[in-house]
């Protein structure tokens, strides 16, 4: 294609301009900015692309702003020898006109849409769009490296140059192969689409078939198992049947032996029964014998005990008598001792009196005349002398009194207390010893309705004359208690006697009087002292006289120790009411109340008593010796009584024991006798013995029978048969269990097989295998096709790559040839599969295009385009090379070299350069310069 | 009884059998055909006046066939109006879990059908006894026929022995289970213990002796079977001690094996003619073996032909084992495509690879040929 002339009217800023271009050589179109250089290129593109009725915004964009005019383009081009004049006006007065003048000079015109279509057809027929786009460099695109691989004119040119025929049909085939390949494979070479799905279907079917086959294997295994179980079951059934026959034989044998065993059991039972009866009879007889013996023995024992009882009772009675005797002796001894003590006391008094008398006699010799004072002293002194007690004495008396009370209380607690009451008219008489009735004396009789409450420490006899005599004897400690009481009473009495008082109250009174007299005496003596300033025997005389009870002039009575004993004799065992001191006090009172005595008379009264003192002393010693003797007697008697009481207690206890034993023996004898009599009433002794003998005979007979049957049983082994049968039955049971287990197992397996049959497992497997075969067939067919597609794709691809490589050689050498004019002989390039320059080598240094400087890249892009243009220039498909502004980044040296290149390019085709910088292209030789004016 | 009797002998019904070379549709029709053949046996029984029908084993393909198969078999058996005696074979052995003892069979089997489950004689007619040796396991340990006759005496009774298994002479010694002792069998016949021996297991119809026959399957199951699809009408005349055995066709299907030599257009045409002449195409399975080499256009034609016939026939299967047809592209083929440049070079490379014995190159070449032709 050659571009000859271009006219623009109302096109952007251009009102009306026609640019005529030389058909060959390099043309540089110069114009200032905004003058419409780029509009030339744009107009050429629009006139062939868009019909006159186009609504495209690209048309709106070219309408001058604010002017209602139709943009118009007239292009004159030639395709080989065919020349076209093509006019198109858009928007206003739309017009399309085409005039074509053929090689023969004939002209043909089209208008309107037809004109557009024809022009479009002609353009498509002669202009390869790839090449056209490659060689037209719009403003600002000069750095883009061209990639002309798919440009048909280039391929044709390369083929022509390399001698290889043109691959006219390659592109449709390549596409078809690619399409076929992509049906089965992804770009990465993995199965896809139907092919991949088929493989999945095969895997799924395989899985199903495997599962079905496994199920059938299980069925087969079950069948084998069932067969084996059935065999085992048959075998076991045979064994079981054999065994059961053995069991039957044993059962039959047992039936025979059982009859013998039955008889043996019967004989044994009867023998045992008879033996039991015999044992019974023997027991009866032996019991009878035992009873008889028992009665005899008890009779003897009872007699012995009766004798013994009589003996012991006698002994006990005697012992009681001995106690009574001993106690009587003791009582006498005590009485004697008491008397003796009294005698000593009296002797002591007598001695004292006599001593006093002697002293009085001596004092009387010193007695002077002392007047009233002395009489008072004498009086007081006599009073005081009459009192033989002091505080200590009273304390001792109180102590003695307390002991009496304690001893009495002990007696009351330790002896029987007897209540006797007369109920009727009959007289009740009481007598005894050692009785404390709480009254002065034991009443001898009880009046009607009368009663007595008595503590008996000795013996009390209650008599209802003609009807009853009851004797109560206190035993054990009663005598001791009574003795203790008496001792306490004696001690008190002794103390009272010595103190010269009746009782404790009297003593206390006397003590009070003594205090009074002492005070008086002291006062009198102070008076006497003041009167005499010296001693005065009169006082002593008076005292002694008073003490002695000497009444001057009265005949002095000889003291009688025996008669001096207290007149009142206390009731035995009861503390007596001492009246001894009453008399004394009376005497003393009398003596004190006496008028003053004449000392001479007193002297006369006491003279000559010296000899009597010695006698009195002797009497006292004698009395004391007698007392000691009596006390020894008491002690001996007391010991004897105690021993006798102990012996009596022991004897009484023994007698009671023997009595009890005797009574028990009698009871037992009576019982035994009753039992024996009852037994005999039931069966006589003789009958019992006879019955036993009969039973023994029966037992012996039965044992004989038993022995005979046992021998019979032993002969046939009757006892072993049952064991054998049991063993055989156990084995049979075990075999049956085994058989049942096998049968169950077989049933289970058969049940499973039955289910397998119901499930139609074989059909399932066949179906699954059929399905597998079917999908596998499909897959295999697909696989064959896929493999074929793969092979074709790979083979064709490989050959295309090789061809591509071959195409690149002429282009590469053309680029390098042009480039060496600029860069020198070391310049080399490498092309990629799109035939774009990918690397540049200069002076042995290889650099990727991207790594080059902007200027170098632009220069390389221009060189490549010029090389392409050069290559295609010989064919019909050549197109103009158009640069809309370029070489903006080259230095002066390079501008010179590039200018030379651009100039030479014009030798092989139409080169059009649009620029506002004409100086860049001043080195282009033989260029046509066209200046656009505003 | 001295009257002659006629009965029918069939075997190897193999109900429930599936053939992998038949598609789902073909499979269904094939299954139905096997049942239809049974119905036709019933019709033959009527026309021949047969007193009963014996089936010598493998009535069912397997003991675990689906319920539908059993019930349909029962329905087909009802169409036979005379007594039918079935012998369990190796496929449907009377083993544990056997369908013969299953409720599916016992609950639906017609009353006139008897399954021989023991070796004791079964009197099918007065004076006529059926004896047999049912398979009790798929792995018998001895002659599978012997139990059927070894206890018998030659007492003048008319006995028919049913047995299932291979004869050593026919199995070629390859049987992995014990075979039937043919000599003993013939002796039993000679001694008059049995008058006829009906054998099963082989799907081909085989006359072993006058009185010993394999009936073959009622409907063909494989191309290599000889004279399948028949039922034998056996007529015994005790009075004259004669026997007549007449095969009567009941099968409707064909299974054909064909070997073709394919080298040029004529051979391809001959194959087309062969297909055209086959009868009952919709009930015919063709197993096709072929060898030779064909130019690419003829190869495409062959593919198209087989595809088309596959639609017409029940199934046309390339017998992979015996399929060695190779493309034989020549320079003329390629010139016709007007290929140039890399495409031509690629095709040439494939052609040479094929010539060098690279078989997979053949498919690639054929494909590329087609693509180039269509793209052109």
- B313 and B335, same domain (yes or no): yes
Q: Which residues pair with B65 in a beta bridge?
A: none
Collect all residues of chain B within an 8 Å Cβ-Cβ radius of residue A162.
Answer: none
For A212, the closest chain B residue by CA position comes to B64
End of a domain among B183, B218, B249? B249
Residues B212 and B259 placed together within one structural domain of the fold: no
CA B353 to chain centre: 42
Residue given tokens 């004669």 in the structure block:
B242
Per the CB < 8 Å rule, is B364 touching A226?
no
Q: Which residues of B touch A785 (CB under 8 A)?
A: 363, 367
- Residue A582 — very low, low, confident or very high, per pLDDT cuts 50/70/90? very low
User: pLDDT tens, A131-176?
Assistant: 888 888 877 777 788 877 767 777 777 766 655 544 444 667 888 8
Contact B96 A227 (CB under 8 A): yes
Residue A564's pLDDT is 42
Question: Are B104 and B70 a contacting pair, CB within 8 Å?
Answer: yes
CATH of the domain at B167: 3.60.21.10
A65 vs A353: which has the higher pLDDT: A65
Q: How many domains does chain B divide into?
A: 2
Q: Give B-chain residues touching A229 at CB under 8 angstroms.
A: 96
Verify whether the Cβ–Cβ distance A757 to B102 is below 8 Å: yes
B11–chain A Cβ distance below 8 A for any pair: no
Instruction: Check CB contact under 8 Å for B61 and A762.
Output: yes
Could you tell me the CA-to-CA distances from A6 to A103, A107, B296 in Å, in that order? Answer: 22, 20, 56
Q: B residues 298-357 near A, CB within 8 Å?
A: 337-346, 349-350
Can you tell me the mean pLDDT for A242-252?
A: 91
Those of residues 236-275 in B touching chain A at CB distance below 8 A are none
Q: Determine what percent of chain A is predicted with pLDDT higher than 70.
A: 87
DSSP B180: B
Residues on chain A touching B338 (C-beta within 8 angstroms): 168-169
Residues 766-795 of chain A with CB under 8 A from chain B are 766-767, 769-770, 773-774, 784-785, 787-789, 791-792, 795
- To the nearest whole angstrom, how far is the Cα of B269 from the nearest Cα of chain A? 25
Is A216 at the interface with chain B, CB within 8 A? yes
Residues A151 and A156: their CA atoms lie apart, in Å, by: 9
DSSP B4: -
User: Mean pLDDT lowest for which of A97-101, A860-864, A870-874, B93-97?
Assistant: A870-874
With a cut of 90, say whether residue A245 has pLDDT above it: yes
Q: Are residues B176 and B265 in the same domain?
A: no
Residues B286, B174, single domain; the answer is: no
Mutate to test the interface with A, among B341, B349, B358, B362 (most CBs of A within 10 A): B341
Integer Cα distance of A436 and A397 in angstroms? 24
8 Å CB contact of B97 and A789: no
Q: What dihedral do alpha carbons B327, B332, B335, B337 form, nearest 10°?
A: -50
**Mind telling me how many Å the CA of A229 is from chain B's nearest CA?**
10
C-alpha to C-alpha distance for A763 and A757, rounded to whole angstroms: 10
Count of CB atoms situated within 10 Å of the CB of A424 = 10
* Gap between the Cα atoms of B125 and B267, Å rounded: 59
Indicate whether A897 pLDDT > 90. Answer: no
Work out the widest C-alpha separation in chain B, in whole angstroms: 92
- Which neighbouring-strand residues pair with B123? B129
Chain A residues within an 8 Å CB radius of B63: 223, 753, 757, 762
Q: Do B367 and A792 touch (CB under 8 A)?
A: yes
Residues 35 to 74 of B: which have CB under 8 A from any A CB? Answer: 61-69
- B-chain CB neighbours of A222 within 8 Å are 96-97
Give B-chain residues touching A770 at CB under 8 angstroms: 18, 20, 24, 27
Q: Check CB contact under 8 Å for A791 and B372.
A: no
Q: Do A180 and B17 touch (CB under 8 A)?
A: no
Chain B closest CA to A172's CA: distance in Å? 6
Q: Which residue has the tokens 């295994």?
A: A221
Structure tokens at A655: 């007698």
How far is it, in rounded angstroms, from Cα A675 to Cα A366? 109
pLDDT of residue B252: 96
Instruction: Report pLDDT for A487.
Output: 85
Residue B134 C-alpha, separation from nearest chain A C-alpha, in angstroms: 15
Report the gap between the CA of B363 and the closest CA in chain A (Å): 5
Angle at A216 between CA A211 and CA A221, to 5 degrees: 125
Question: B233 to chain A nearest CA, in Å?
Answer: 32
Range of the domain at B306: 254-375
* Complex ipTM value: 0.86
Better-predicted residue by pLDDT, A656 or A552? A656
Same-domain check for residues B78 and B146? yes
Q: Give chain A's mean pLDDT.
A: 82
Q: Of B189, B219, B249, at which residue does a domain stop?
A: B249
> What's the Cα-to-Cα distance from A145 to each of A93, A483, A831, A837, B334, rounded to whole Å?
42, 169, 11, 7, 39
Q: Does B366 touch chain A (CB under 8 A)?
A: yes
Q: Do the Cβ atoms of B363 and A784 come within 8 Å?
A: yes
> In B, which residues are within 8 Å of A177 by CB distance?
368, 371
Q: What is the pLDDT of residue A561?
A: 45
Which of B96, B102, B364 lies closest to A791 in CB terms? B364
| CA pair distance B340, B351, nearest whole angstrom | 15
Higher pLDDT, A407 or A552: A407
Q: Which of B255, B260, B257, B233 is nearest to B244 (CA)?
A: B233
- CA neighbor of A800 nearest in space, from A155, A36, A280: A155
A762 in reach of chain B (CB within 8 A): yes
Mean pLDDT on A486-515: 83
- What residues contact A868, with CB distance under 8 A and at least 6 apart? A131, A134, A135, A146, A148, A151, A154, A811
* Cα distance between residue B91 and residue A743, in whole Å: 26
Question: Which residues in chain A are closer than 8 Å to B27, comparing Cβ atoms?
Answer: 770
Instruction: Report how many helices (DSSP H) and strands (DSSP E) chain B contains, helices first.
Output: 11, 15
Q: Which of B185, B219, B249 is the last residue in one of the domains?
A: B249
- Give the integer Cα–Cα distance in Å for B87 and A91: 99
* Distance (Å, whole) CA A841 – CA A825: 11
Q: Are B225 and B143 members of one domain?
A: yes
Residues B245 and B258 in one domain: no
Q: What was the pLDDT predicted at A508? A: 82
| Rg for chain B, CA atoms, rounded | 27
Instruction: Say whether B97 and A219 touch across the interface (CB within 8 A).
Output: yes
Question: Do A574 and A440 contact (CB within 8 A), yes or no?
Answer: yes
pLDDT digits (tens, 9 = 90+) for A677-736: 988 888 888 888 888 899 999 999 999 989 998 998 888 888 888 899 999 999 999 999
* pLDDT reported for residue A538: 62
Tell which residue, B14, B9, B76, B23, has the closest CA to residue B285. B23
Instruction: Identify the band that residue A425 occupies on the pLDDT scale cut at 50, 70 and 90.
Output: confident
Q: Do B364 and A787 touch (CB under 8 A)?
A: yes
Task: State both tokens at A142.
Answer: 């000069």
Q: Which two tokens stand for residue A125?
A: 């027929």
Residues A369-399 pLDDT 10s: 455 666 767 777 777 777 777 888 888 888 8
**Percentage of residues of chain A with pLDDT beyond 90:** 20
| A760, A767, A784: residue with CB nearest B67 | A760
Which residues of chain B lie closer than 8 angstroms to A167, CB-CB?
339-344
- pLDDT at position A241 is 93
Domain shared by B293 and B328, yes or no: yes
B contact test, residue of A149, A165, A754, A795 with most B CBs within 10 A? A795
B76 plus B159 within the same structural domain:
yes
Q: Is the pLDDT of residue A583 over 50?
A: no
Could you tell me if B30 and B99 lie in one domain? yes
B363–A788 C-beta distance less than 8 A: yes
**Is A284 within 8 Å of A290 (Cβ atoms)?**
no
Residues A756-808 have pLDDT tens digits of 888 888 889 988 998 898 899 889 989 989 999 999 999 988 887 787 777 78
Residue A925 CB: number of other CB atoms within 10 A?
A: 11
Do residue B350 and residue A175 have CB atoms under 8 angstroms apart?
A: no
What is the reported pLDDT for A76? 93
Residues in B closer than 8 angstroms to A219, CB to CB, are 64, 97
CA–CA min distance B64, chain A (Å): 4
What is the domain extent for residue A434?
Answer: 416-473
Helix axes A580-593, A478-499, angle to 10 degrees: 0
- Interchain proximity A167–B341, CB inside 8 Å: yes
pLDDT beneath 70: ranges in chain B: 1-2, 171-175, 330-331, 333-334, 338, 340, 376
Residue A723 lies in a domain: no
- CB distance from B367 to chain A under 8 Å? yes
The DSSP 8-state label assigned to residue B11 in this structure reads: B
Q: Chain A: give the shortest CA distance to residue B297, in Å.
A: 17
What are the residues facing B199 on neighbouring strands?
B163, B214
Pull the structure tokens for residue A104: 């023969």
Q: How many domains does chain A have?
A: 1
Partner B, chain A 218-237, Cβ-Cβ below 8 Å:
219, 222-223, 226-227, 229-230
The pLDDT value recorded for residue A133 is: 82
Residue A467 falls inside a structural domain: yes
3-state secondary structure A227-257: HHHHHHHHHHHHHHHHHHHHHHHHHHHHHHH
pLDDT tens per residue, range A828-839: 998 887 788 889
Q: What is the pLDDT of residues A316-350, one digit of tens each?
A: 899 889 888 888 888 888 888 888 888 888 888 88
B192: left (phi over 0), alpha (psi -120 to 50) or beta: left
Name the residue facing B342 among A175, A750, A800 (closest C-beta): A800
Contact B343 A764 (CB under 8 A): no
Across A244-273, average pLDDT = 90
| B292 and B234 co-located in one domain | no
Pair B155, B282 in one domain: no
Q: Do A754 and B103 touch (CB under 8 A)?
A: yes
């Amino acid at each position: 294609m050659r571009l000859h002339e271009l006219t623009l009217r109302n096109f952007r800023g251009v009102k009306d301009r026609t640019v005529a271009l030389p058909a060959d050589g390099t043309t540089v179109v110069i114009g200032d900015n905004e003058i419409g250089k780029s509009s030339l290129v744009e107009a050429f593109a629009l006139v062939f692309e868009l019909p006159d009725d186009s609504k495209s915004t690209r048309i709106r964009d070219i309408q001058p702003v604010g002017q209602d005019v139709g943009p118009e383009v007239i292009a004159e081009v030639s395709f080989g020898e065919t020349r076209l004049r093509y006019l198109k006006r858009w928007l206003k007065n739309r017009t399309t006109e085409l005039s074509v003048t053929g090689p023969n000079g004939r002209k043909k015109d089209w208008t309107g849409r037809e004109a557009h279509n024809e022009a479009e057809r002609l353009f498509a027929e002669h202009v390869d769009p790839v090449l056209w786009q490659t060689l037209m460099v719009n403003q600002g695109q000069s750095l883009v490296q061209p990639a002309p691989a798919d440009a048909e004119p280039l391929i044709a040119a390369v083929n022509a140059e390399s001698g290889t025929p043109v691959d006219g049909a390659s592109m449709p085939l390549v596409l078809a192969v690619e399409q076929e390949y992509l049906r089965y494979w992804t770009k990465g070479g993995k199965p896809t689409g139907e092919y991949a799905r088929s493989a999945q279907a095969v895997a799924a079917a395989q899985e199903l078939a495997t599962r079905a086959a496994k199920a059938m294997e299980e069925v087969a295994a079950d069948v084998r198992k069932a067969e084996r179980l059935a065999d085992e079951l048959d075998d076991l059934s045979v064994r079981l049947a054999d065994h059961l026959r053995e069991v039957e034989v044993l059962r039959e044998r047992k039936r025979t032996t059982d009859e013998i065993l039955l008889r043996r059991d019967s004989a044994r039972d009867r023998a045992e029964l008879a033996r039991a009866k015999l044992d019974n009879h023997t027991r009866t007889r032996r019991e009878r014998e035992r009873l008889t013996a028992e009665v005899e023995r008890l009779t003897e024992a009872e007699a012995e005990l009766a004798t013994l009882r009589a003996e012991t009772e006698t002994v006990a009675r005697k012992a009681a008598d001995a106690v009574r005797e001993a106690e009587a002796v003791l009582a006498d001894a005590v009485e004697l001792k008491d008397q003796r003590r009294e005698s000593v006391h009296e002797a002591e008094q007598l001695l004292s009196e006599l001593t006093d008398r002697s002293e009085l006699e001596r004092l009387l010799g010193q007695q002077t005349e002392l007047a009233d004072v002395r009489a008072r002293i004498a009086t007081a002194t006599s009073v005081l002398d009459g009192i033989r007690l002091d505080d200590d004495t009273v304390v001792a008396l109180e102590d003695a009194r307390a002991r009496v009370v304690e001893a009495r209380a002990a007696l009351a607690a330790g002896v029987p207390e007897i209540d006797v009451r007369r109920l009727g008219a009959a007289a009740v008489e009481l007598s005894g010893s050692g009785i404390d009735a709480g009254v002065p004396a034991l009443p001898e009789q009880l009046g009607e309705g009368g009663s007595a409450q008595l503590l008996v420490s000795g013996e009390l006899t209650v008599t209802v004359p003609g009807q009853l005599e009851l004797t109560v004897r206190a035993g054990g400690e009663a005598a001791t208690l009574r003795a203790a009481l008496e001792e306490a009473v004696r001690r008190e009495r002794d103390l009272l006697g010595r103190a010269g008082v009746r009782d404790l109250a009297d003593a206390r009174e006397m003590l009070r009087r003594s205090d009074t007299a002492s005070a008086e005496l002291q006062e009198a003596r102070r008076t006497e002292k003041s009167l005499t300033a010296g001693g005065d025997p009169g006082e002593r005389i008076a005292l002694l006289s008073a003490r002695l009870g000497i009444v001057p002039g009265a005949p002095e009575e000889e003291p009688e120790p025996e008669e001096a004993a207290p007149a009142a004799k206390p009731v035995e065992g009861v503390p007596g009411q001492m009246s001894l001191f009453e008399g004394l006090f009376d005497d003393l009172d009398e003596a004190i109340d006496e008028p003053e005595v004449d000392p001479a008379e007193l002297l006369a009264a006491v003279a000559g008593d010296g000899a009597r003192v010695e006698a009195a002393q002797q009497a006292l010693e004698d009395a004391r010796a007698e007392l000691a003797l009596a006390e020894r007697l008491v002690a001996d008697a007391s010991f004897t009584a105690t021993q006798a009481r102990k012996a009596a207690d022991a004897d009484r206890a023994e007698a009671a024991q023997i009595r009890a034993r005797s009574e028990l023996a009698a009871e037992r004898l009576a019982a035994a006798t009753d039992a024996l009599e009852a037994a005999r009433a039931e069966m006589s002794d003789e009958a019992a013995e006879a019955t036993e003998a009969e039973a023994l005979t029966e037992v012996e007979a039965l044992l004989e029978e038993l022995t005979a049957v046992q021998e019979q049983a032993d002969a046939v082994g009757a006892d072993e048969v049952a064991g054998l049968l049991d063993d055989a039955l156990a084995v049979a049971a075990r075999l049956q269990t085994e058989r049942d287990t096998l049968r169950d197992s077989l049933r289970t397996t058969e049940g499973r097989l039955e289910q397998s049959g119901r499930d139609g497992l074989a059909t399932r497997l066949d179906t699954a295998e059929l399905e597998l075969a079917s999908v596998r067939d499909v897959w295999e067919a697909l696989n064959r096709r896929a493999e074929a597609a793969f092979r074709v794709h790979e083979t064709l691809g490989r050959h295309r790559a090789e061809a591509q490589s071959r195409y690149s050689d002429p282009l590469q050498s053309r680029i390098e040839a042009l480039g060496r004019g600029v860069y020198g002989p070391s310049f080399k390039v490498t092309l990629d599969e799109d035939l774009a320059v990918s690397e540049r080598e200069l002076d042995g240094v290889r650099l990727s295009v991207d790594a080059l400087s902007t200027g170098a890249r632009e220069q390389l892009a221009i060189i490549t385009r010029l090389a392409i243009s050069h290559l295609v220039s010989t064919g019909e498909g050549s197109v103009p090379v158009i640069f809309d502004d370029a070489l903006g980044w080259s230095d002066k040296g390079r501008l010179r070299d590039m200018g030379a290149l651009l100039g030479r390019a014009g030798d092989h085709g139409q080169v059009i350069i649009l620029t506002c910088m004409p100086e860049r292209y001043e080195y282009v030789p033989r260029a046509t310069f066209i200046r656009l004016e505003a | 009884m001295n009257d002659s009797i006629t009965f029918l002998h069939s075997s190897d019904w193999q109900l429930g059998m599936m053939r992998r070379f038949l598609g789902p549709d073909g499979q269904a029709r094939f299954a139905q055909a096997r049942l239809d053949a049974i119905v036709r046996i019933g019709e033959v029984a009527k026309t021949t006046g047969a007193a009963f029908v014996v089936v010598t084993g493998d009535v069912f393909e397997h003991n675990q066939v689906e319920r539908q198969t059993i019930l349909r078999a029962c329905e087909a058996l009802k169409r036979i109006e005379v007594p039918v005696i079935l012998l369990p074979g190796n496929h449907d052995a009377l083993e544990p879990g056997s369908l013969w003892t299953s409720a599916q069979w016992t609950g639906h089997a017609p009353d006139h059908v008897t399954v021989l489950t023991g070796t004791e004689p079964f009197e099918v007619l007065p004076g006529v006894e059926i004896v047999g040796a049912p398979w009790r396991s798929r792995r018998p340990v001895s002659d599978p026929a012997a139990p059927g006759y070894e206890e018998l005496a030659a007492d003048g009774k008319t006995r028919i022995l049913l047995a299932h298994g291979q004869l050593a002479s026919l199995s070629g010694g390859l049987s992995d289970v014990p075979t039937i002792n043919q000599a003993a069998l013939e002796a039993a016949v000679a001694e008059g213990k049995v008058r006829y021996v009906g054998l099963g297991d082989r799907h081909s119809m085989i006359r072993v002796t006058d009185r010993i026959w394999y009936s073959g399957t009622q409907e063909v199951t494989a191309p290599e079977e000889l004279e399948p699809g028949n039922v034998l009408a056996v007529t015994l005349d005790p009075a004259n001690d004669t026997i007549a055995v007449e095969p009567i066709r009941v099968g409707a299907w064909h299974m054909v094996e064909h070997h073709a030599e394919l080298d040029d257009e004529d051979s391809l045409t001959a194959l087309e003619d062969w297909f055209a002449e086959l009868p009952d195409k919709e009930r015919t399975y063709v197993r096709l073996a072929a060898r030779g080499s064909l130019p690419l256009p003829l190869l495409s034609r062959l593919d198209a032909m087989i595809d088309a016939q596959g639609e017409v026939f029940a199934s046309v299967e390339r017998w992979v084992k015996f399929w060695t047809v190779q493309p034989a592209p020549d320079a003329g083929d390629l010139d016709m495509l007007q290929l140039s440049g890399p495409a031509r070079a690629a095709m040439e490379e494939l052609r040479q690879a094929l010539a060098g014995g690279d078989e997979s190159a053949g498919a690639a070449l054929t494909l590329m040929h087609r693509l180039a032709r269509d793209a052109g």
